[in-house]
Amino acid sequence: MAAAPNKYESIRDQVLDLVHGLDVGAAIPAERELCEQFGVSRMTLRRAVDDLVREGYLDRRHGSGTFVAEPKIAQQLTMTSFSEDMRRRGLVPSSQTLSLTTVTAGAPLGRHLEISPRAQVRRVRRLRLADDRPMAIETLHVPSELVPGLQARDLVDTSFYELLAERYGIEIGAGLQTIEPTVLNAEEGELLDVPEHSPAFLFERTSRSVGGRIVEFVRSVYRGDRYQLQVELRPPRTRGGRADGERVSAQDPAIASAMQTHPNSPE
Amino acid sequence: MAAAPNKYESIRDQVLDLVHGLDVGAAIPAERELCEQFGVSRMTLRRAVDDLVREGYLDRRHGSGTFVAEPKIAQQLTMTSFSEDMRRRGLVPSSQTLSLTTVTAGAPLGRHLEISPRAQVRRVRRLRLADDRPMAIETLHVPSELVPGLQARDLVDTSFYELLAERYGIEIGAGLQTIEPTVLNAEEGELLDVPEHSPAFLFERTSRSVGGRIVEFVRSVYRGDRYQLQVELRPPRTRGGRADGERVSAQDPAIASAMQTHPNSPE
DNA sequence: AAGTGGTCTAGACCACGGC
DNA sequence: CCGTGGTCTAGACCACTTT
């Protein structure tokens, strides 16, 4: 059970257990009481509770108490696969492999994958469907050496991330995704069953293993009429505290917008 | 400038000033040294530095020191105004009011603002520029009764949120923003100085005051060639600490993607 | 070994909410 | 008023990195 070396992590887990036994809206015991119960100082107890508040399990009300929070509507967008993403919305994901080829990386792809331009890359093009209607076209690139023996049928009804983990022992650690608006070309329109020039999202995702190595570069085009993003915006400062007219503080980076300074990024 | 009631906020700002005078990668003074310099305890100093680390200004290296971080490609998107958003990227924001009118809400707008369809609404249309080049067209709707006496010049070089806070005492508490790809029509293309049918982002934002009342509904169209979104994807679990198989922890919900079930939203 | 950040304590006082 | 969370202190010891 990988005992936490830190007291506050252990306390966090214990308080979380306590929370699980309570109803939404119920108050947890006062901080000083919990301190005594767990035998820790208030600073340590608060650090544990701070975490749970950040994670959305608890709400604090100054002068009143700490309460079990409403389950969040918008859960974190983590390292979700297409299948996960669709299932979460009550749709049935499916997939149709359009092509599975091996190509030489070349300069731009080599840069994205941080490998030699002469390295071999497996390239999978898939049509992604939700409730049997086209949703996106996904083009996935993986360094060949990472996935020896990869075959088209491996991808039929398995999440690619599961495949990576279970067959190749590769654990995804982090990713960066850029999002742009685009319009569909004729071929994309036909595949997605919408008119050419329809608006669409272009996602480009780069994922790294826990070791820091780039595992995949994915380029996906999503139908703009079926797919929409939602962002929950939080006020600059979590606290009631004011001040700081100059800069907006950031609680925890998750989404950011960035300028594309050079519209002609060599890709 | 609204002196911070909290010592750690004031310290945060002072440390940030210090950081601004250093190069990327340079070490800041040791924590104990800063404590003495600012005359605060180490816990307080650390809380200030914690914030700056979370905000991406500093990197800590255990046993080694605290260093000025590489400017983040992906800064946090909070309840940021356009001006903030641009400034953060080193661009100079400006604004050009295209129109300021009063209209009757009507059904769709009334629904967005949660007011009567017969209520009056101030409607501001603005061209938003970055470094004097068009970036977005923003159409803002606010219930008239919330902003009596609003004039066009009020919006010239003030953040709308500042105006709300300082003049009308309205504090923004939370917001929900949807993002879709779209293409520009002829008028939008002309205003933004790009060809008609160019890809663009359509943002729709609904903001609530801390009291829960809807304060604004904003519809913005951003040039797709100049504006790009970035999402940092994190794996399901951040810590090494395990336990809790049941619920996916949310470090901090910020973005979620949602399906648009009915492509013909009556808007 | 010396210096750094990381954790933790046992208090204290303040600010807010509700009785 | 009392109980709650919010801030702050002045230490202590631990864990890690560097020399």
DSSP line for B193-260 = TS-TT-EEEEEEEEEEETTS-EEEEEEEEEETTTEEEEEEEB-S--SS-----SS---S---EEEEE-
* Domain presence at residue B3: no
Residue A218 within any structural domain of the chain: yes
List the single best residue of A177, A231, A252, A260 to mutate versus B (max B Cβ within 10 A).
A231
A56 versus A146: which is more confidently predicted? A146
In whole angstroms, how far apart are CA A243 and each of A141, A236, B12, B93?
Answer: 47, 11, 11, 22
Residue A248's pLDDT is: 25
Q: In the 25-84 stretch of chain A, whose C-beta falls under 7 Å of nucleic acid strand C? A: 39-44, 47, 61-64
Q: Is A69 on the interface with B (CB under 8 A)?
A: no
More confident residue, B118 or B248: B118
- Is residue B206, in this structure, part of any structural domain at all? yes
pLDDT at A259 over 80: no
Answer yes or no: do A225 and B74 touch at CB < 8 A: no
Question: For the residues of B94-139, what is the DSSP string, one character each?
Answer: EEEEEEEEEEE-HHHHHHHHTS-TTSEEEEEEEEEEETTEEEEEEE
Extract the tokens encoding A217. 């570069």
Number of domains in chain A: 2
Mean pLDDT value across residues B205-227: 91
Q: Which residue is nearest to nucleotide D10 (CA to C1')?
A: B41
Higher pLDDT, B43 or A243: B43
Q: What is the rounded CA–CA span in Å between residue A256 and residue B232?
A: 8
CA triplet B158, B164, B168: central angle to 5 degrees? 125
Contacts of A92 (CB under 8 A, 6+ apart): A86, A130, A131, A132
Residue A105 has pLDDT above 50, yes or no: yes
Q: What confidence tens digit (pLDDT) does each residue in B157-196 have?
A: 677 888 888 888 887 877 888 899 999 999 999 999 999 9
Residue B117 to residues A168, B143, B209, B260, Cα–Cα distance (Å)? 58, 11, 20, 24
- Residues A208, A80, single domain; the answer is yes
Q: What is the mean pLDDT of chain A?
A: 81
Asked whether the predicted pLDDT for residue B239 surpasses 70, the reply is no
**Are B142 and B99 within one domain?**
yes
Does the pLDDT at position A186 exceed 60?
Answer: yes
Distance from residue B10 (CA) to nucleotide C19 (C1'), in Å? 35
Q: Which residue lies nearest C4, CA-to-C1' measured?
A: B63
- How far is C-alpha B138 from the geometric centre of its chain's CA atoms? 14
Q: Of B48, B68, B88, which residue is a domain's last?
A: B68
Does the CB of B44 fall within 7 Å of any strand C atom?
A: no
Per-residue pLDDT band for B79 (boundaries 50, 70, 90) equals low
pLDDT surpasses 80 at B147:
yes
A254 touches chain B (CB under 8 A): yes
Q: Taking CB atoms and an 8 Å limit, are A256 and B1 in contact across chains?
A: no
Hey, is the C-beta of A173 within 8 angstroms of any chain B C-beta? yes
Statement: residue B236 has pLDDT above 60: no
Same domain, A46 and A137: no
Tell me the mean pLDDT in the region A48-53.
Answer: 92
Q: Which of residues 47-66 of B touch A (CB under 8 A)?
A: 51, 54-56
In this prediction, residue A136 carries a pLDDT of: 96
**B236 in a structural domain:** no
pLDDT given for residue A225 in this prediction: 93
**Does residue A69 carry a pLDDT above 90?**
no
Q: What is the pLDDT of residue B250?
A: 25
On whether the CB atoms of residues B97 and B151 are closer than 8 A, the answer is no
d(CA A88, CA B149): 46
What is the structure's pLDDT at A254?
38
Mean pLDDT of chain B: 81
Q: Are residues B51 and B132 in the same domain?
A: no
Q: Which residues of A touch B56 (CB under 8 A)?
A: 250, 253
Residue type, A126: R
In chain B, the residue whose alpha carbon lies closest to the alpha carbon of A263 is B225
CATH number at residue A149: 3.40.1410.10
What percent of chain B shows pLDDT beyond 90?
53
Residues A78 and A180 in one domain: yes
Q: What is the CATH number of the domain that holds B19?
A: 1.10.10.10
CA distance B145 to chain A (A): 23
CA of A263, closest CA in chain B: separation in Å? 6
Instruction: Say if B118 is an interface residue toward chain A (CB within 8 Å).
Output: no
C-alpha torsion A149→A153→A159→A165, nearest 10: -20
Give the residue nearest to nucleotide D9 (CA to C1').
B41
In angstroms, the CA B217 to CA B145 distance is 15
Confidence of residue A235 (pLDDT cuts 50, 70, 90): low
Statement: residue A75 has pLDDT above 50: no
Question: Looking at the predicted structure, is the pLDDT value of residue B241 above 80?
Answer: no
Whether residue A2 lies inside any domain: the answer is no
Give strand pairing partners of A120: A104
- Residue given tokens 């508040």 in the structure block: A53
In a domain, A240, yes or no: no
Are B62 and B187 contained in the same domain?
Answer: no
Q: Which residues pair with B181 in a beta bridge?
A: B201
The Cα–Cα gap between B6 and B44 comes to 10
CA dihedral A130, A134, A138, A144 (to 10 degrees): 80
B153 DSSP assignment: G
User: Of B45, B68, B91, which one is at a domain's C-terminal end?
Assistant: B68
Same domain, B13 and B94: no
Q: Which chain B residues 56-75 have CB under 7 A to strand C?
A: 60-66
Report the 3 state secondary structure along chain A: CCCCCCHHHHHHHHHHHHHHCCCCCCECCCHHHHHHHHCCCHHHHHHHHHHHHHCCCEEEECCCEEEECCCCCCCCCECCCHHHHHHHCCCCEEEEEEEEEEEECHHHHHHHHCCCCCCEEEEEEEEEEECCEEEEEEEEEEEHHHCCCCCHHHHCCCCHHHHHHHHHCCCEEEEEEEEEEEECCHHHHHHHCCCCCCEEEEEEEEEEECCCCEEEEEEEEEECCCEEEEEEECCCCCCCCCCCCCCCCCCCCCEEEEECCCCCCCC
- In this predicted structure, the answer to whether residue A76 has a pLDDT above a threshold of 60 is no
List strand D contacts in A 15-54 (CB < 7 A).
28, 30-33, 42-43, 46
Q: What is the spatial distance between Cα A215 and Cα A83, in angstroms, rounded to a whole number?
A: 19
Answer whether residue B246 shows pLDDT above 60. no
Q: In the structure, what pLDDT confidence band is assigned to residue A4 with cuts at 50, 70 and 90?
A: low
Whether A183 and A210 map to the same domain: the answer is yes
Strand D bases contacted by the protein (CB, 7 Å): 3-12, 15-18
Write down which residue in B41, B68, B95 finishes a domain: B68
Judged against a pLDDT cut of 90, whether residue A218 lies above it is answered with: yes
If you search the block for the tokens 């939203």, which residue do you land on? B265
Most B CBs within 10 A among A77, A80, A185, A227, hence the mutation to make, goes to A77
Q: Which nucleotides of C are covered by protein (CB under 7 A)?
A: 3-12, 15-18
Q: Which of these ranges, B88-92, B138-142, B187-191, B196-200, has the smallest mean pLDDT?
A: B88-92
Specify if B256 maps to a domain: no
In a shared domain, residues B36 and B104? no
Confidence of residue B3 (pLDDT cuts 50, 70, 90): low
What is the arithmetic mean of pLDDT over A118-133? Answer: 95
The residue that leads in pLDDT, B21 or A246, is: B21
Q: Using CA atoms, how far apart are residues B120 and B125, in angstroms rounded to an integer?
A: 16
**Higher pLDDT among residues A125 and A248, named by residue:** A125
- Residues in contact with A181: Cβ distance below 8 Å, sequence separation at least 6, in sequence order: A199, A200, A201, A202, A224, B181, B182, B199, B200, B201, B224
Cβ pair B251:A175 closer than 8 A: no
Closest residue by Cα to residue A118 from A126, A127, A128, A110: A110
Tell me how far apart the alpha carbons of residues B203 and B139 are, in angstroms, rounded to a whole number.
Answer: 10
CA of A247 to nearest chain B CA: how many angstroms apart?
8
Q: Which of B121, B256, B260 is nearest to B181 (CA)?
A: B260
Domain range spanning residue A18?
8-68
Across the interface, of B77, B210, B250, the residue whose CB is closest to A55 is B250
| pLDDT band (50, 70, 90) for residue B42 | very high
Over pLDDT 70: what percentage of chain A? Answer: 81
For testing contact with chain A, the best of B47, B82, B229, B262 (most A CBs within 10 A): B229
Residues B139, B144, B147, B148: is their CA dihedral positive or negative?
positive
Q: Are residues A81 and A211 in the same domain?
A: yes
For residue A84, what pLDDT band results from cuts at 50, 70 and 90?
confident
pLDDT at A73 over 60: no
- Considering the domain architecture, whether residues B81 and B109 belong to the same structural domain is answered as yes
Residue among B13, B89, B181 whose CB faces A200 most closely: B181
In a domain, B134, yes or no: yes
Q: For residues B209 and B215, what is the distance between their CA atoms, to the nearest angstrom?
A: 6
**How sure is the predictor about A3, in pLDDT bands with cuts at 50, 70 and 90?**
low
Residue A157 predicted with pLDDT over 80: no
Q: Do B78 and B50 share a structural domain? A: no
User: CA–CA separation, A233 vs B113, rounded Å?
Assistant: 17
Helix (H) / strand (E) element for B91: namely none
Contact B219, B202 (CB under 8 A): yes
